[in-house]
Amino acid sequence: MVGNYIVSFMGFMPANDPKIVLYVAIDNPKGITQYGGTVAAPVAKKILTDAIDILDIKKQDGGIDRTYNYTDTKKYIVPNVIGKTKEEAIKLLDKFKIEYSGSGDHVVFQSPKASSSIHEGDTVKLFLGN
């Protein structure tokens, strides 16, 4: 059928010693520009970002620092909020969106992990306990 496409994106990381290879295919996306980079790549980014924590992939030395354009969102280092109260965590994570789960007064787990670099406005997930 005309206009039915499968858009895809493939990625891996880390580049010099891959620990994960990912292929995302979306069959017949609707209502948006049908390119892998605009449809499948954001899905892949989310999966690969979560995989950094799950696989405990460390930042490597010798990389090239990114330069920003005025339209880019900046990246910030996620502080360690484990053991902090919910209110303390909110103050420390002011550049990010925050999602909570669990009950209690203190943060017992966070994702992404402390010292991760994520974009301003990205989500930090906190699990609360006592």
What type of residue sits at position 75?
Answer: K
Q: What is the pTM of this model?
A: 0.50
33-86 pLDDT, tens per residue? 677 778 888 899 889 988 888 888 887 777 777 676 777 778 899 999 999 999
The rounded distance, in Å, linking the Cα atoms of 27 and 8 is: 9
What pLDDT shows up at residue 126?
95
Domain ranges of the chain: 6-54, 75-129
Contact 106, 118 (CB under 8 A): no
Q: Which residue has the tokens 């484990």?
A: 82
Give the position of tokens 């974009």: 119
CATH topology for the 75-129 domain: Trypsin Inhibitor V; Chain A (3.30.10)
